[in-house]
Amino acid sequence: MTTPLDSFQHDWKAFEQAHVWHPYAAMPAAVPPVAIRSAQGARLKLEDGRELIDGMSSWWAAIHGYNHPVLNTAIRSQLEQMSHVMFGGLTHRPAAELAALLVELTPTALDQVFFADSGSVAVEVAIKMALQYWQAKGSTERVRLLTVRGGYHGDTFGAMAVCDPVTGMHHLFAHALPKHYFAPAPGCPFSAAWDEGCITGFRALLQAHHHQIAAVILEPIVQGAGGMRFYHPEYLRQVRALCDEYGVLLIFDEIATGFGRTGELFAADHATVSPDITCVGKALTGGYMSLAATLTTRKISARISQDGTPFMHGPTFMANPLACAVATASIKLLLASPWRSRVAAIESRFRRGLEGCRGLPGVHDVRSLGAIGVIEFSDPLEMRWIQPLLVEKGVWLRPFGRLLYAMPPFIISDEELERIITVMSEVTHLVSHNHA
């Protein structure tokens, strides 16, 4: 009789494909996953010895590339002290130091830090904070959220309920989710002239329903997994003003945009707008470990905590010391690096390099902002042949829907970046040729 361990020993990849789920995948996955043995800098090393240039930063996270000596050392030395202790009733310096950095780097009023283990959970925490705030104020009717279409905030139930109801990957659960308000997606592109019409739908919804709205939640400037769209900073300024006018809290989800990706340290910095609650994750640990944080103001924490009321959330692995230590090291490494000019250089290379794809048959739009380059097609891409082709061409990109996009580690070399851009345009020409 063959046991599961026998099959694993015999052919671990076959075993893996038969038994292990992948994100947003059928079982087995339509396109078999690529097996990685190690990673270094902006390169992924495959089990079969080939190398791929990484254009994904492992979903926005690995901003310093892989296997970075400074980050490795941070984890190693924390490991010598302790890898984890519960955060209920106990505390440690790594959590305090990371909190100090986050409080220093985010807008002044945001100085109360809640650590969570993933971005989705940080969003759940933000929503709970808003709900508990209004509960404590006695406004029990304020239980809805207002967001915009085209958003993505995570995969847990609270977060799913504010993802785009159609393109947000969760329409299967629509019947089971709380109903929130959705304004039109911000229609005004980042670098176009501002058009007052962009905010009309949002304003109308807020005017009509503000008595029931606890908070507005948005990804500032960049709508990521919901469509990789970049919108105008004025939109955020107007949203802030409207939230103030109607006394509604404002939550920014900076999980994808935080730590330099858009060219500013946080995307909200493009608009110099300060939210009441903000979520960070993804690049927080430089892609080393799962960690996220939700920051809010003393005004909100004090209201929630009136009469000693606790805030009702407490992950088992809250503020994991290894994750906090590597996050602190990653942020310090970022701040000590010329990240601003690196990201600007990546942006201008994307801008020049992808421009040739604009206007091709089947290409809907070409855009870039910070270290993000996007080609949007008019039809969904056929992953079945495009994914293996990208690997064959030596780059790691993970297209989804109608999007072929890259967000490389900031440390990527000019040659590596050039290769990614070349492959993106080669594939675009192929898709376009098939389309025509």
Ligand X SMILES: *Cc1c(COP(=O)(O)O)cnc(C)c1O
Residues contributing to the site for ligand X (CB under 6 A): 118-120, 123, 152-154, 219, 224-225, 253, 255-256, 281-282
Side-chain-side CA neighbours of 100 within 13 Å: the count stands at: 10
| Catalytic position from the list 54, 253, 269, 276 | 253
User: What span, in angstroms and rounded, lies between the C-alpha atoms of 224 and 153?
Assistant: 9
CB count within 10 Å of CB 185 equals: 18
CB of 148 to ligand X, least distance (A): 12
DSSP letter at 187? -
| Catalytic position from the list 66, 181, 282, 405 | 282
Please say whether the beta carbons of 416 and 371 come within 8 A. no
| Catalytic position from the list 24, 137, 244, 414 | 24
Longest dimension (CA), the chain: 70
Q: Mapping DSSP to helix (H, G, I), strand (E, B) and coil, where does residue 213 land?
A: strand
The residue count of the chain comes to: 436
Tokens of 435: 């389309």
Compare residues 119 and 353 and give the one whose CB is closer to ligand X. 119
CB of 290 to ligand X, least distance (A): 7
Q: Mapping DSSP to helix (H, G, I), strand (E, B) and coil, where does residue 296 land?
A: strand
Residue 282 is among the residues annotated as catalytic for this protein: yes
Residue 152 is among the residues annotated as catalytic for this protein: yes
User: What span, in angstroms and rounded, lies between the C-alpha atoms of 410 and 337?
Assistant: 10
CB of 352 to ligand X, least distance (A): 27
CB of 157 to ligand X, least distance (A): 12
Compare residues 118 and 278 and give the one whose CB is closer to ligand X. 118
* Residue facing ligand X at closest CB distance: 119
Compare residues 128 and 210 and give the one whose CB is closer to ligand X. 128
Compare residues 224 and 353 and give the one whose CB is closer to ligand X. 224
Three state DSSP letters for 1-25: CCCHHHHHHHCHHHHHHHHCCCCCC
Residue 393 is among the residues annotated as catalytic for this protein: no
CB of 152 to ligand X, least distance (A): 5
Compare residues 153 and 180 and give the one whose CB is closer to ligand X. 153
Q: Mapping DSSP to helix (H, G, I), strand (E, B) and coil, where does residue 203 land?
A: helix
Q: At 361, which helix (H) or strand (E)?
A: none
Residue 235 is among the residues annotated as catalytic for this protein: no
| Catalytic position from the list 152, 181, 288, 405 | 152
Name the residues annotated as catalytic: 24, 152, 253, 282
